[in-house]
Every structure is written in structure tokens, then in C-alpha cells.
Amino acid sequence: MFYFNLDHAKIAYQIAGLINSYNNLGRKRTVNDILHGKTDYIVEVHGKWVLGAVGVDRQSYTFTELKHVVVHPEWRGKGLAKSLVDRALKIVSTRMVYCTVREDNIASLKLFESYGFSVAGEYPAEDHKVIILARVAPQWKHSTSGLGPKSKSNWLDAETMARAAFTSTQR
């Protein structure tokens, strides 16, 4: 049995607060967004405080987006973001994982690069550029025959797949 001293609304409130305070997104997230949106969140909790979170949003059979990686400033540099991304990647079952990162967020760019993500594109935002990073799941990388994960038929490179996924989510 697990005991959580925080209910879901309190956790969602803290996740929204972290995202809104530190991720510089164009739209503020609400408790309702966190609780009832299609994104699932993996969180790191210490006592009654959410220290960090990462969103996992399965877009389709092929694509999952990792989003809103955030760690409270007092807990940065301790490996929490790496732990969150590691846990997120372990539950992703799609062929492709992608994320978008502001070009000035060097720590996140390095973090995703350390997991084998590569630049698949970029697009301009209001006052900055956003980098699209993508990674093909390891079980799909060395495909050689037939169908399923081992198939090379209809293979798309990471850049093409990430652009397709990102374009479909912007409609």
C-alpha cells in the first residue's frame, strides 16, 4: 500500500505553478489542464512538495511527446530532470519520442542530447526559436526484416517523423 500526503489537486496545483513559473510558455497551465488534460505527469515529490515533473503525451501509435520538464530551482543540478526523463522514457511505448525546447535552454538541450535525441527542426516563436528534438526508440533503430519493430519497410528518419508529429499536433 502507498500513502501520499498530497491529493491530486494539490499535486496538479504545484505542477502548474512550476510550469508557469519556470518554463516560459505562451499559455499558462491550470490545475484543470493538469488534472483533466491528455498529458500524464511523472513527478518527483519530497514530503508535501513537488520538486519536478515531466509530461508524457502519447500523440498516436507512433509518436509520444515529452513536455514541460521542470525542476524547482533549489533542486536543480541534483539529477532530478535526468531521473524524470529516464522514468518517462521507460514508459513510452511508441516508435518515436519528440520534444520542443527553447533554443536558450541549454540545460534541457544537453539533457535530451544525452538520451540520444537529435535536432529534427526548429520554428520561430514570439521572441525566440524553438528546437524540435526527436529520438527513435532503441528497439526500432536496428530494424532488419519483416514487420513490427524489426521492419525497415516504410522507414522514416527521425527528422521526417518528428516534423510530421509536430505538424499534426499544431492543427
Q: Are 71 and 81 in contact (CB under 8 A)?
A: yes
- Per-residue pLDDT tens over the stretch 13-51: 999 999 999 988 888 999 999 999 999 999 999 988 999
- Per-residue pLDDT tens over the stretch 123-166: 998 888 999 999 987 666 654 434 444 444 334 455 555 555 55
CA distances to 1, 24, 153, 163 from 81, rounded to whole Å, are 27, 17, 35, 25
What predicted TM-score, i.e. pTM, was given to this entire model? 0.79
Measured between alpha carbons, how far is 81 from 60 in angstroms, rounded to an integer?
A: 25
Q: Domains along the chain?
A: 8-169 (3.40.630.30)
